[in-house]
A and B are shown apart, each in its own frame.
Chain A
């Protein structure tokens, strides 16, 4: 029996693949968001289409929820094995909904075992089996003491276009069934005043790209990046956005280089394995100074690894991606909301500085959803430096003091635009002489200096907690979730440092935040402590402790808090 915290409420939905556990989790999250709750929805599943255990877990609260919790207040078991698989995660007072209970479960759960005739009802109604989740959702709404009318409105919104009548009818039946039993949960959570949107990181990132004027998205499917492709493919209607799925990742990135050369805003995306296939062309984007956004979602590697599970093992790979030396930008957002702004910022940065910009995320950010505030009207489109002095003298790679050469595109009268993978002179013709080679390399690296000068205008590092504390927890990417959720249960008042810009690294700011600290604990999901090593390389500061996890699962916030409490 687990202890669950009073300020949060966690619901698990377990079933076989195809039972709709994920959809039920997202629907519930949407309803709760509509009612003003903050929530985080995770989804765990094996790499197969049918069968296997799928599990959605939703933690909600009045305050921002950064990560889901393990201790379950409610479990919806869509099949028999789900009870056994999650028995150890049940909190005291946990309520379990299932079609049927075995005798031993009834004995253990007592009145908290609530039989819901989900399968029988959908069979009687002759509707798809997957809709049986809705009955459980309705039952949960009563259990949580949610207003019936509000639930109806929220369900309408959540089931928009997905058989709303059937689903709402089933939810009503579940609600009434619990009402008849007069059964409410012992724990009560009140909503927060601000209404947000429940969204996963891939959709949020895609929305950010659209907000910044994306013209083309090109990708080859690979979990966990695939839903960016799905989301954007569904947005082409009544839009100038176009999505292409070529024959391979190599085709993807080389096609994108052509699109950027011809003047259109393009992004590509893959898992780190697909990104590995693209390496020669990442370098080519650097050489051609092509504005190119690349979304890279990490999963547990090496090789095919665990396709549907997460890791933070590709930080080093991504910042060193592409052969040779050339400037690039690597941004690692920590949740869906940051992914939205990172998507928009990446596209603008790519065009301002004419280089590859990589958004480094992972399975947790890509596929888990949390309530977020995405302000598309805050996004401005930066078209970069567009050439006004055209004609015969134009050179695509004109040497300038800030390293940025004004862009022109093919199709411009009297103006020739040459780009090449070879080292080149200002007009884009191959060179091999030492002096001009060095001059062109220096021109490209002048952009790095220009970017570093502008770092103060970007959120390269985020600070949470007690800014003057001598105990510092440093982390990156999706580990933000469990760390900030753990923060609620860390006894000492500590400072939390999230590093977002990995390249160029904000040496000044990170040094400022870490120097003089007594304890610096670096928390990340990899074996080598890649961020800890990067901090030492860039600032000379060695972290005092590392908490590393590399079993393909994210940190659990309450356990993480316990581990941190022991160290400080």
Chain B
């Protein structure tokens, strides 16, 4: 599928989900039960009511498939006929339960704070009540009979449903779009109908349908106990009641209504599953063309050692199901102790390239490479995470376990990878926290991540990387979540750590200025390809690729001319799978010529230590005729 369409309409997804095995089963079961409920009483009503004193308590026979009861009525017919009443009462109870649950669940988000708290507390108390006890209590209040039972079972479902809806609503009510709606003065009713309910739909529907299955069982239970449906009416529970004492004489007669309850209950569960799948983001993907099996590509005979290259990747690719390639064959060399920046727009594949080195590409993605060497080892066979390869991620809160003390988390690295004893590991953890300039490391090691500030957490993560003897630190947007002052500290720390440990650094950032501060060499990625490789000193004025120049030109600085518009890059980068022949940047390039649309330029050498993938690089003979004086890209949009 070269083009990934965004067809996510509910109807479309429902159609797709129904075609799965579970969808087909649920739909068939629904139709079957509905058919029985509608036609059963019409076709078999008389037969089920017919008293035949000549055939009392008979076993199964040709005339009476499941035998007869104590009045000689056909049990099979009665089970079929009871479907309608059972379903009707179940659904009525479900409507009460779901309706009440939604009402009480959504209310705290839209009523005043005090009333909201009262509702939440009440629901909390009711949930704590044992469900069966609550049900029996209500059944006693409402009295014996089907109406009372409907209310009892329905109301018993309200507290758990309300609790679930409350929790779901609370998270939605805290979201930015609800805040935006509040500023706009959107009314309560509209807030609930337009913003809250649609966004809690799937889990609520799933819960409601499963609870409906539970209601069916509970209702049958009440009838079985004689608290529900009263004769001459009968539902499955009532039939079970009548036949259970004869289970050893005529087991089929007792099992049939029980089986009906179980199977219909399962059906409700399946329906919920289908609806939740269709409504949710778990919808099955459109059938995918399986990517060409590369079987990890045959390993090269030996990873050649070229002097000094710590990381050596050749033709590195990251492929997602459907054959979409996010990284489309890049080559990468990082020398020992070198600091390399990897820049590009979001979606350019920069993070995935780095994750591929660490063997951390998320699930459906597959990594392949002609060569992937790290310090002489083949990384494909032997990932080096933990000891020689350290990772620092963007969100330090997400990369530390909030439940564990920071010291413990650091120590774990030494215990697992270096076989250190617990005491040794802890001592080293404190030492490493000290190394990243955390004051009173002994005390800090005993604290949990939430007691750290953002900058300190990022230091702790760096310290974790330093527990081993890293030869390479991969930092993926390490300062994006931090403010400028803390950013400066973390960047200084990275530079310092690099100096002391001699580790190489691969710094991924969308912020060119950050890369310029720390790195020696910059790789610019675009649409899954490296388009330029240049020393950082050339970044500001000497970039050869029009994309690099446009990117640099788009960064507002403290000297940007305020009289003119900011430079922009018109258009957007191609999505994975949208790339065809020609240079991927051609559509946005102001220096584009015919050849750019036809052939894809390879990354070729351009002077010492420089490479560029462009047919007409800026500042070269090939690039001259069009715009020898071309400066930073200035779009007029």
Does B associate with A? Answer: no
Q: Which residues of B are in contact with A by a Cβ distance under 8 Å?
A: none
Q: Which residues of A are in contact with B by a Cβ distance under 8 Å?
A: none
